[in-house]
Amino acid sequence: MRRRIEKDGWSYIYEDTQKCDYEFTSVRYILGREIDKSKTKALICIGINPSTAIPTLLDPTLSRVQKYAQNSGEYNAWYMINVYPQRATNFNDVDTDKNYQMELHLTNIDSIKNLLESVKCADVWCAWGSHIANGKRRFLHDLLVGNQKKNIQGIMRLFQGDYTFKTYKITKNGFPAHPLLMRKNDKLQEVKLEKILCNNTR
């Protein structure tokens, strides 16, 4: 069952399951935090799948995202969403084409839609890295950009409006780099979606 917590500036939308104890659940849809009410623009980061972060106990990736958002002075809040909402610290543990759960994607889409209803202006940090092209997990590409033949709505189609797509680096293979590879002086730069999406095919 999907649960939502809004407390002390934190936004946390996750799946309440019996598989994991307490707030360390097996599925996380959205995690974010309000940081400066005087600003009008948010930062939304798109990763491949969530790791261990929960409110007040961020993992290294989310610590990097929060630090960038705070230090930039541009944003009223930051949010982390993912192509696939299954938690896994080791990518080899992520579901494959044989067993991925479409219901998780549908709930993820619904959660992101609800977020964007309140976040009308944002920089969208593309940060899914090379795993999007994993040969055993081709479904990830479909969840990101959509697949009309399979009747799959892609996450990127949801961003209609005042959203600017950015990345701090494109890898040599053409993927938007993961936040953990970001250096101290790196800055997010606007990027054309076709430049990073055309390399995400198998």
Read off φ and ψ for residue 76, nearest 5 degrees.
Answer: -85, -20
Tell the residue number behind the tokens 């494109």, with chain if given: 170
Range with the largest mean pLDDT of 1-10, 122-131, 176-185 = 122-131
Identify the three-state secondary structure at position 125: strand
Identify the three-state secondary structure at position 94: coil
Domain ranges of the chain: 2-197
Q: Which structure tokens are listed for 20?
A: 């994991």
Q: Is the pLDDT of residue 199 over 80?
A: no
Residue-level pLDDT at 22:
37
Residue-level pLDDT at 5:
86
Residue-level pLDDT at 16:
64
Contacts by residues 111-117 (CB-CB < 8 Å, ≥ 24 positions apart) = 111/2, 111/13, 111/29, 111/30, 111/81, 112/29, 112/30, 112/81, 112/155, 112/158, 113/158, 115/11, 115/30, 115/32, 115/44, 115/79, 115/81, 116/158, 116/159, 116/161
Distance CA(30)–CA(85), nearest Å, equals: 8
How many Å separate Cα 131 from the centre of its chain?
13
Instruction: Using pLDDT thresholds of 50, 70 and 90, give the confidence band for residue 200.
Output: low
| Torsion angle, alpha carbons of 99, 135, 19, 150, to 10 | -40
Residue-level pLDDT at 19:
47
Distance CA(199)–CA(196), nearest Å, equals: 6
Q: Which pTM was predicted?
A: 0.88
Angle at 63 between CA 160 and CA 144, to 5 degrees: 30
pLDDT, tens only, 87-130: 999 999 999 999 999 999 999 999 999 999 999 999 999 999 99
Tell the residue number behind the tokens 């917590």, with chain if given: 5
Residue-level pLDDT at 7:
85
Distance CA(165)–CA(82), nearest Å, equals: 15
Closest C-alpha among 184, 197, 156 to residue 44: 156
Please indicate whether residue 121 or residue 8 has the higher confidence score (pLDDT).
121
